[in-house]
Amino acid sequence: MQFKNLFPILLTVAATIGISQANDGYIHSHSGTPRQLTNADVNFGSPASVKFADRGYEFKLGADGKASRSWFSVESSERVRFDLENQSDHVVAFVVGDEPAIAEYAQLFRKDPASVSNDFHGVILSPGEKKNFAWKFDTSGSPKVLATYVTLDGEYKKNKAPVSVTRSRDH
């Protein structure tokens, strides 16, 4: 009798493990395997301290919804401070990442902005708000890295700015 009650639980656990393993091929996910949950799967950089930034870039979202820059150039291992300003009338998020990670972030942001409020590779800005965001481009051999603004409808492609990561002169 107890075994019959245990079987549905075991079946559910097995199915959950299978789904989790199916996500292993995805470059980055906000849920899934332990590597994904701890962001150990990320190969587009890591958070940095604004205090210790090597360089700063201004990146504004204008009242017309257009970003002030269309690309960035950084050296590998460089810590960059993004000086952000949302001049639009809408809540937006600034995000750094590869295309799959940004697409997933945009989808989550569209469904529930609070779900990404503590995400490590993005920051939410209210209308008129200014913030700083720092990122270390420790991305040797990485995929294409982007910086962009995401709108509440999940749009991110309109303002995506490729980040050219070149090999550091020190290496």
Rounded to an integer, what distance in angstroms lies between the CA atom of residue 158 and that of residue 56? 23
Q: What is the pLDDT of residue 165?
A: 87
Same domain, 122 and 104: yes
Q: What is the pLDDT of residue 101?
A: 87
Mean pLDDT (the chain, rounded):
80
Enclosing domain of residue 115: 44-166
Q: What is the CATH number of the domain that holds 102?
A: 2.60.40.420
Same domain, 85 and 113: yes
Which helix (H) or strand (E) segment holds residue 118: the answer is none
Q: What is the pLDDT of residue 156?
A: 96
Q: What is the pLDDT of residue 120?
A: 85
3-state secondary structure of 25: helix
Look up the pTM and report it: 0.75
Do 44 and 142 touch, CB atoms closer than 8 A?
yes
- The dihedrals phi and psi of 155, each to the nearest 5 degrees, come to -75, 130
71 domain residue, yes or no: yes
Q: What is the pLDDT of residue 22?
A: 34
Same domain, 71 and 152: yes
Q: What is the pLDDT of residue 158?
A: 95
Query: Which residues of the chain, if any, have pLDDT below 50?
Result: 1, 3, 10-29
171 domain residue, yes or no: no
103 domain residue, yes or no: yes
Same domain, 117 and 56: yes
